[in-house]
């Protein structure tokens, strides 16, 4: 599966547009993660506990989007984007979305 943030893929042509695909995941910080992150924030710098959680959440949303595209018969996703919204304190929705397409080289 090719996933690109661009609207086209150099060396490929879109032969069929399937449409919007998305992967959504909702995550919360654990009590231990929140405490650990608060302790790391006292020292300053990168808060690795939150960075790790954010990366895992983005990857999960991306994987879900790719699964939806593959199930629809796509071999590529173009114009891929992420979006995040805080649902309530400590609970965040992560959305990966893009346009599922079938591409051929040429």
Ranges of each domain in the chain? 2-27+57-105
pLDDT in tens, 11-63: 999 999 999 999 999 987 554 455 554 555 555 556 666 777 889 999 999 99
- This prediction has a pTM of 0.81
CA distance 48 to 36: 9
Answer yes or no: CATH 3.30.110.70 is held by domain 2-27+57-105.
yes
At residue 52, the pLDDT reads 78
pLDDT in tens, 65-76: 999 999 999 999
């Amino acid at each position: 599966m090719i996933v690109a943030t661009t609207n086209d893929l150099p060396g490929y042509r879109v032969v069929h547009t399937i449409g919007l695909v998305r992967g959504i995941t909702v995550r919360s910080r654990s009590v231990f993660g929140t405490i650990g992150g608060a302790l790391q924030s006292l020292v300053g710098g990168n808060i690795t506990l939150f960075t790790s959680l954010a990366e895992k959440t983005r990857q999960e949303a991306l994987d879900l989007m790719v699964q939806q595209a593959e199930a629809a018969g796509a071999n590529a996703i173009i114009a891929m984007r992420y979006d995040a919204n805080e649902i309530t304190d400590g609970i965040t929705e992560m959305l990966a979305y893009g346009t599922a397409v079938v591409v051929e080289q040429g």
